[in-house]
A and B are shown apart, each in its own frame.
Chain A
Amino acid sequence: MSELLLDVKDVVVEYPIKGFRKAPFKALKGVSLDIRAGETVGLVGESGSGKTTLGRAVLGLAPVTGGSILYKGADIAHLGRRERRALSSEIQVVFQDPYTSLNPSLTIEQILVEPLTVKNIAAKEASRRVLSLLDQVGLPQSAADRLPREFSGGQRQRIAIARALALEPRLIVCDEPVSALDLSTQARVMDLFKEIQERTGVAYLFVSHDLAVVRNLSHRVAVMYHGEIVEWGDGDQVTARPEHPYTQRLFLAAPVPDPVRQEQRRADRERLLAEQGQQAGAL
């Protein structure tokens, strides 16, 4: 068993609502999970379930009002800006939208050098590192002096991954990193994620709405619903034989790419909805 990297305990995130004495909006209502070194923890949920908020809370971009987030045993939920900056070489991020997560007016080299300059790495050494980073994500070195708009979605996402890798972090929060990509591109970017993990031992908190993507990448999976984790455990168990009613609904709602089995799944889903409806009625 590898070391415990991140331990999220009963985290509550509340966003203030405009207006006098209005109750704040609770995006997370006491969420707990943990990530071990080198592990991928998948976080599945539908829009508004709070999965992105949890990722942002780990990154220090969401206001944590309760609970604790322990990174290597130290609470990082309430750090000041300066202390937070020191964590940049430990925790990094890849965002969903490859079109807005790269500054359109900077070249790829400027984008990739950015995190390195924070660590006072000399310009020459930094440029050398940029070339190696491009190499690691499978982009040609000629990409360095181009602008983001010259690249396709999949290539931009590779650049975003390279930026996250620049400081050799131990944990990368991936917020729907393959959702905006085409099917074949998605498969190759996911392979890149796995390959990097096997080579560097980095851990991922992998946020996605797609059960299949999460199943493919994650060692353990947490399912979120209305700001809470409703099911949490082994990846195969949660994504193939879910126990919580919501996870079951989620699982059967995704259409299978096979007309014969999809007919079966549709029937299963209708039966499950009827059963759950009855149970709800009985309660």
Chain B
Amino acid sequence: MPLPDPQLTPGLEERAARVSLFRKLLKNPVGLIALIFLALLVLSAIFAPLLAPADPNTASLQDVLAPPGGAHPLGADSAGRDVLSRLLFATRFSLAGALLALVVAAVIGVVAGLIAGYFGKWFDSVSSWFAGLLMALPGIVVLLAARAVLGPSMWLSMAIFGVLLSPAFFRLVYASVSAVRNELYVDAARVAGLSDARIIARHILTVVRAPVIIQAAMITGIAIAIQAGLDFLGLGDTTVPSWGSMLNDAFAKIYTNPDLMIWPASAIALTCIALTLLANVMRDELERTAGPVKRRKNRDRAAEAPIVKAAHLSTVGMATISEEERRLALEQPAASEPGEIVHPVVVHPDPEDGGRSSTGNPFGEELLSVRNLAVGYDQPDGSIKVVVNDVSLRVRRGEVHGLIGESGSGKTQTAWSVLRLLPDGGRVIDGSISFEGKDLAHATEKEMTKLRGAKIAYIPQEPMSNLDASFTIGSQLVEPMRVVLGLSKSEATKRALGLLERVGIPNPQRTFDAYPHEVSGGMAQRVLIAGAISCDPDLLIADEPTTALDVTVQAEVLSLLRELQAELNMGVILVTHNFGVVADLCDRVSVMRAGRIVETGPVRSIFAAPEHEYTKALFAAILEEGEPRGELVAARTETAQTEKEGLR
């Protein structure tokens, strides 16, 4: 029997909000207006022969420059042709010309982009080269040359213009495709036996679709403007009415009949504006879907109050904890369900002498004392999502306090709140954090800046992303020391080199001069450790310091941390999910689950006799030193098969 998985929470509000783009556009006022305008434009172009009161090309000497009214609602032009009829037919030809350019550009650009991005190889280099060439060509000059050689055909010049515009699509599609091509789900589809055509249709085109639609609106606008420009210069086809040629005609009479300019000019302007606005609205709407889906849970209105009793908030906190954890929580409904009594934290007593560090020295004075800490994040609907709840812990000088828990247990949030470096929207909503007699929960930002680095140091999880790629490692070590310790540049450099040597970097000078990308992950973590201890901190906060490292490198970094901690007699908060790391380094450990500490005490005591159900469950899941799988016992089907073969 397969293991049952936790039931999905019923009524998850974030049900796939797969409302079509079109529906979203209708809901956006700007999008709606732009769409209505464009729809009317297209309809009037289609039904021009029915709507037009007269033939657009019939000239009449009596009606030359006739004022609006009567047979000519918008008047007549310099040849006595009906302006309204010409405008309607011009819409037809202008839109059709722009559409032709768009189709040519899109077909060439998208197809070439897909092939180059997906298959790569030689086609990639050749097509990229061509795209660059086309982009470098001055469009108007090419169109003028084409007209000189091929004659004044609007269709031909728009088709050529389409080719010139195709790099816009090519580059867009190429970029999205090469980003998706190496996604694991594309690999999985390939292993599943899908043909390339199918993979492109299913996985690639869906990614490309949205940006191509946005680009199409922009390109259409450009095509309309360019076409009007050509016709206005008199380089277009004089036999078909277009906005540009109307403008040209009206321009000649601008002093006698300036109002003839209004109609073609506003048609061009409004169409281009509508297309650009539509493209913008589409981009906004599509990008909004990519963002996180907002939850709207108003179950706990009390959470709106700035400070609320911690226990009261637990339900809101639970709403965002992973399913796995929810299941574990449900196994023993302790702190998780509203209205339930919150079980007290299981506290293992300290040894009688107050405990000693691994070096055998007794612990020093109390450095950090966190009491009933609650951390919450403001939600868009005004509620607070609580991620840490009623957490109390203390760290003495020379003591390593481990915070262990699974993802979403609030261990990192607790560490960040001590540093007061919670991400946007996060804040301490209850409790106190006292460090050397000062309450960090209510300290000003200025006071915190003084403490960070100098008194409280931090080692992050991802060494590489915590070093700035554009500065050498040396400059990143020297700068904080000059600011915090007030050292001169040469003193700080000397000290940095000494620290790099101390953290076991074989060639300190070379690493000092190197950029972050030139060193390995293990080396980068050593550099960050050197930086953290550079200003002799009293308290070190290490957030999963070895998680991103290989196991042999992890062992080295753990030894280094152990040595430095003993040497500098620091208090340490070590956040980790690895029981081995806790066993290696920590003196005390607090087990966290769903934002609370469930069990705390000296490491040896907890490892020897865990009492809380959750701690026991975690220990049971540990694999180290577990039973090996053993020899392969042929599966039943196999045995049956071999038996059959044996009979033959």
Residues of A within 8 A of B (CB): 1-3, 36-40, 46-47, 59-61, 81, 85-89, 91-93, 95-97, 100-103, 105-107, 114-115, 118-119, 135-140, 142-143, 146-147, 149-155, 158, 160, 163, 166-167, 182-188, 190-192, 195-198, 200-201, 209-213, 215-220, 234-236, 239-240, 249-250, 252-262, 266, 269
Pairwise interchain contact A103-B185, C-beta atoms closer than 8 A: yes
With A39-B632, A153-B322, A255-B578 as known contacts, state yes or no: A183 contacts B406, CB within 8 Å: yes
B238 interface residue, CB < 8 Å from A?
Answer: no
- Across the interface, A183 reaches (CB within 8 A) one of B2, B184, B191, B621, namely B621
Cα distance, A259 to B355, chains bound together (Å): 15
Nearest chain B CB to A260's CB is how many angstroms away?
7
* A residues in contact with B193, CB < 8 Å: 85-89, 115, 118-119, 167
Contact of A114 with B582 at beta-carbon distance under 8 Å, contacts A38-B632, A235-B630, A254-B624 already known: no
Contact between B635 and A250 (Cβ–Cβ < 8 Å)? no
Closest B residue to A197 by CB, please name it: B635
CA distance A93 to B203 in the complex (A): 18
B137 within 8 A of A: no
Q: Is B424 an interface residue (CB 8 A)?
A: no
0/1 string, B609-645, CB within 8 A of A gives 1: 0000000011111111111111110111110001000
Given A142-B8, A256-B625, A257-B579, does the pair A198, B555 have CB atoms closer than 8 Å? Answer: no
Which residue of A2, A89, A186, A190 is within 8 Å of B632 (Cβ)?
A2
Residue of B nearest to A93 (CB): B191
A19 to chain B, nearest CB (A): 15
- Name the one of B8, B555, B638 contacting A3, with C-beta atoms under 8 angstroms: B638
The 7 A-B residue pairs with the shortest CB-CB distance in the complex, in nearest-first order: A88-B193, A255-B580, A257-B579, A201-B635, A115-B192, A253-B555, A236-B628
* B350 is an interface residue with CB less than 8 A from chain A: no
B551 at the interface (CB under 8 A from A): yes
**Do B607 and A103 touch across chains, with their CB atoms under 8 A apart?**
no
Decide if B345 is an interface residue (CB 8 Å cutoff). Answer: no
Q: How many residues of B contact A (CB 8 A)?
A: 76
B195 lies within 8 A of chain A by Cβ: yes
Given A88-B193, A235-B630, also A250-B551 (CB < 8 A): yes
Residue on A with the closest CB to B606?
A259
Which B residues between 1 and 25 are near A, CB-CB below 8 angstroms?
1-5, 7-8, 12, 14-16
What residues of chain B lie closer than 8 Å to A103, measured between beta carbons? 183, 185, 202-203, 206
Complex CA gap A160/B404 in Å reads 28
Pairwise interchain contact B622-A183, C-beta atoms closer than 8 A: yes
Assess whether B581 is interfacial by the CB under 8 Å rule. Answer: yes
Q: Are B628 and A253 in contact (CB under 8 A)?
A: no
- Say whether B577 contacts A183, CB under 8 Å: yes
What number of A-B contacts does a CB cutoff of 8 Å give?
247
| Chain B residues closer than 8 Å to A3, beta-carbon distance | 638
**Interchain CB contact under 8 A, B627 and A184:** no
Choose from A61, A136, A140, A190 the contact partner of B191 (Cβ within 8 Å).
A61
Which B residues are CB-close (under 8 A) to A97?
184
Complex contacts, A60 vs chain B, CB 8 Å: 190-191
- Is the CB of B111 closer than 8 A to any CB of chain A? no
Q: Is the CB of A140 within 8 A of B8?
A: yes
The answer to whether B191 touches A239, judged by C-beta atoms less than 8 angstroms apart, is no
A39 to B635, CA, bound (A): 9
Q: A195-B3, A255-B580 are in contact. Are A95 and B187 (CB under 8 A)?
A: yes
Q: Which of B187, B328, B550 is in CB contact (< 8 Å) with A46?
A: B550
Residue from A92, A105, A107 having most chain B Cβ neighbours under 10 A: A105
Whether the pair B632, A219 counts as a contact (CB closer than 8 A) is yes
Question: Hey, what's the 0/1 contact readout for B591-615 against A, CB within 8 Å counting as 1?
Answer: 0000000000001100100000000
Residue in A102, A118, A153 whose beta carbon sits within 8 Å of that of B192 in the complex: A118
> Chain B residues with Cβ under 8 A from A215's Cβ?
623, 626, 628-629
Q: Is the CB of B188 closer than 8 A to any CB of chain A?
A: yes
In the assembled complex, how far is the CB of residue A5 from the closest CB belonging to chain B, in whole angstroms?
Answer: 11
B196 within 8 A of A: yes
In chain A, what residue has the closest Cβ to B327?
A: A184
* Interface membership of B324, Cβ < 8 A: yes
B583 at the interface (CB under 8 A from A): yes
Cα separation A63 to B2 with both chains bound (whole Å): 37
| Contact status A256-B632, CB under 8 Å | no
In whole angstroms, how far apart are the Cα atoms of A201 and B640 in the complex?
12
Q: Which chain A residue shows the least CB distance to B623?
A: A212
Q: How far is the CA of A153 from the CA of B581 in the complex (A)?
A: 23
Across the two chains, which residue of chain A brings its CB closest to B624? Answer: A212
Residue with the highest number of chain B CB atoms closer than 10 Å, among A88, A97, A119, A210: A88
Q: Which residues of A contact B636 (CB under 8 A)?
A: 201
